[in-house]
Amino acid sequence: MTTYLDAIADAIRIEMRKDQSVFMIGEDIGVYGGAFKLTKGFLAEFGPQRIIDAPISEAAIMGAGIGAALNGMRPIVEMQFMDFITNGFNQLVTVAATTAYRWGIPVPMVVRGPSGGGVGANPFHSRNSEAWFAHATGLKVVCPATAADAKGLMTASIRDQNPVVFFEHKGLYRKIKDEVPEGEYVVPLGQAKVVREGTDVSVITYGSAVHMALEAATMLEADGASVEVVDIRTLVPLDEETILQSVRKTGRAVVAHEAVLTAGFAGEIASRIADSAFTFLDAPVKRVAAYDSPTPFAPTLEKAVLPNAEKIAEALRSVLAF
């Protein structure tokens, strides 16, 4: 069994061994081995020219990655916490995301790092910011929920010709363990996965909320309800057809994510369901998300703000009773 964190590290290590153009740049990723020890041992194996300890300047790190990508390299840019991607936002959204459109030149880079709450990390280290980048045309956005998917999607992201923003939920790093294929393993971007079959209601979700949804589905079994869980895995590109197939089958949908409710990606999914599967619906589409609040530091307050299995189960019961 391999942890989510080790699966990501394995994917990066394999790609760096086979492709000399792949390198990493970020804060404390070399000598220290990364804030979460994901790159432990990388400096000894690959050397300081491919595992680059950068100064604390996300804009500079992002800019260096873009420049390297434009010159034939495949940088993996680490944000020590994805919250601080805001300091490199202009480089990523204004430059990297638009270069292929403006110049016809690929920008093969991965911007990766820990995101999400549930670990008492306070408002500066707990944000789920994936919707920002789904809105910035030209970027691909990946949010794996399992160790196997984390490895396969990371491999696909490194090999992609476009800038990819790769969100690793820190709460899953060592909590989630899977059977992960050895050696090279690729999960194509843009392919959702039905992780639990059901007939009565669909939960469309991704990232940490996949595990909440699976727990909620087990709770609903006691009510005699059959819940289908769809993990979209990537927000961009979005596998809309798998979502619609599930909703057309069950006739009911709940969309869940850990990010805040307002302007969260669940709204986009709900809109597409309403546009393309409205006549199949037997109840309104319901969303489950965090409250519109910074993530509190206090564990009791954090638990109250964030979604969980119980809140998803409540939403499921609501649409089933409609």
- Say if CB 111 and CB 62 are below 8 A apart: yes
Phi and psi angles of residue 80, each rounded to the nearest 5 degrees, phi first: -55, -40
Give the closest residue to 88 by CA, choosing from 109, 122, 63, 67.
Answer: 63
Non-local (6+) Cβ contacts of 168 within 8 A are: 4, 5, 8, 112, 113, 114, 115, 144, 150
Is there a catalytic annotation at residue 211?
Answer: no
Phi and psi angles of residue 25, each rounded to the nearest 5 degrees, phi first: -140, 135
- Say if CB 68 and CB 20 are below 8 A apart: no
Per DSSP bridges, beta strands 253-260 and 201-205 are parallel
List, in sequence order, every residue forming a beta bridge with 165; answer none if it has no partner: 111, 141
Taking each helix axis from N to C end, the angle separating 4-18 and 147-159, rounded to the nearest 10 degrees, works out to 30
Per DSSP bridges, beta strands 193-196 and 227-231 are antiparallel
Structure tokens at 150: 């984390």
Q: Which of 125, 169, 211, 257 is catalytic?
A: 125
Active site residue ranges:
125
